[in-house]
Amino acid sequence: MDLHALGACLTTSACVVTQTTSGLIVGMLLFLVAAGVTLIFGVLKIVNFAHGTFYMLGGYVAYTALGVTDSYMLAVLAGALSMALFGVVFERALISRVYGSNVLMQLLICYAVVLIFDDLVKIVWGPEFHAMGMPQAFQVPPLFIAGGVVPPFYAVLIGIAALIAIVLGVGLSTTRLGKTVRAAAINAQMVSALGVNTTLLFAIVFAVGGGLAGLAGALAAPVRSLSPGMGFSVLIESFIVTVIGGMGSIAGALASALLIGLVRGFGTIGFPQFTDGLIYIVMIAILLLRPQGLFGRRL
């Protein structure tokens, strides 16, 4: 524990800017993953334990796509779209078979998928760590904001994630599809009785969730290293985000992802050994004080 360093950091604008940026990066990427988790839970009442796998595969697909096309934008698109497709296949082929059965059965299937794809990634890309490297376009001098160093790629990353958050929020509240999704979250059977093809709707929800996770993986690839099993820590954190924000609430996911990101950003200075522990303590505290989460409705 190093409260002295934390105090010193909070009083210098350079340190505040740097840590806030790194916190926002973590938070925004986390939001993209957690948004999918919370959307899938909200509509299908399924806790998708395989969501970290989507994130991991998105990163690896983008890594390969970058090698082939040499365009980071195409790589990100490839990562996101392939995972959207994977989400549909996963839902149709596996998850749809256990709708309505024991939660543990769903967990078992998801865990099997996690195990299988961690090893498939090892077979295809090898067990070693891969670094994607910063895309060519962003290999420029960093920005200086109030004395803090902000690489331009970070700024773009935060921008893209923020844009997605807005599109998702507006899409859910105003478009026809968004309203149908929200209605299905309240009562899927009723929505089905009103003539909406819920089978298609569920597949779309999985496609959006998977696509977002793949996008997050592809966006994170230049700033983090790729390794088999990397999905797991992201999965746990996105669960924490989902629980803190309220299961099924996109706004809650955004708020709590940023909260977790900032706790991480500044926690590494104050409690370098215990940043993870800090996050679990936040989660336990919130679960005790507000079990439904910050933005959740009481179940």
Partner 1 sequence: MKSNGRSGTRETAIAAVALLIVLVVPFVHRSPAFEDFVIRLSAMALFATSLNLLVGNTGMVSFGHGMFYGLGAYAFALMMQMTELSLPVAAMLAVLFTTLAALCVGAICVRLSTDYFAFITLAFQMLIYSVIISWQSLTGGDQGLRGGLPRREIFGFDLASQLHLYQCCAVVAVLGLLALRHISASPFGQTLRMIRDNESRTGFLGVVLWRARLWAFTIAGGFAGLGGVLAALFVSGAYPELADWPNSGQAIFAVMLGGINSFLGPVLGAAMLLALNDVVARVTEYQGLVLGIVILIFALGLRRGVLDFFRVAWSKDSQ
Residue numbers of the site for partner 1 (CB under 8 A)? Answer: 47, 94, 97-98, 101, 103-105, 107-109, 111-116, 118-120, 122-123, 232, 236, 239-240, 243, 247, 273-274, 276-277, 280-281, 283-284, 287-288, 291, 299
Nearer to partner 1 by Cβ, of 44 and 161: the residue is: 44
Residue 152 Cα distances to 19, 37, 84, 157, angstroms: 15, 29, 28, 9
Nearer to partner 1 by Cβ, of 120 and 143: the residue is: 120
CA atoms within 13 A on the CB side of 16: 7
Nearer to partner 1 by Cβ, of 250 and 283: the residue is: 283
Smallest distance, partner 1 to C-beta of residue 89, A: 14
Smallest distance, partner 1 to C-beta of residue 284, A: 5
Smallest distance, partner 1 to C-beta of residue 287, A: 5
Residue 46 DSSP SS3: coil
Q: Give CA–CA dist 202/42, Å, rounded.
A: 11
What tokens were used for 133?
């490297």
Smallest distance, partner 1 to C-beta of residue 277, A: 4
Nearer to partner 1 by Cβ, of 21 and 106: the residue is: 106
Please work out, in degrees rounded to the nearest 5, the angle formed at the alpha carbon of residue 207 by the alpha carbons of 205 and 213: 105
DSSP label of 141: P
Nearer to partner 1 by Cβ, of 70 and 119: the residue is: 119
Nearer to partner 1 by Cβ, of 141 and 299: the residue is: 299
Dihedral, CA of residue 145, residue 146, residue 148 and residue 151, to nearest 10? 0
What tokens were used for 265?
């950003």
Nearer to partner 1 by Cβ, of 209 and 222: the residue is: 209
Please count the other Cβ atoms lying within 10 Å of the Cβ belonging to residue 3: 10
Nearer to partner 1 by Cβ, of 223 and 276: the residue is: 276
CA atoms within 13 A on the CB side of 80: 16
Smallest distance, partner 1 to C-beta of residue 283, A: 5
Given the DSSP bridges, would you call strands 148-150 and 143-145 parallel, antiparallel or unpaired? antiparallel
Residue 236 Cα distances to 172, 243, 255, 276, angstroms: 25, 11, 17, 11
Smallest distance, partner 1 to C-beta of residue 268, A: 13
Considering only CA atoms, give the Rg of the chain. Answer: 19
What tokens were used for 42?
């909200």
What tokens were used for 175?
């478009």
Smallest distance, partner 1 to C-beta of residue 201, A: 22
Smallest distance, partner 1 to C-beta of residue 128, A: 14
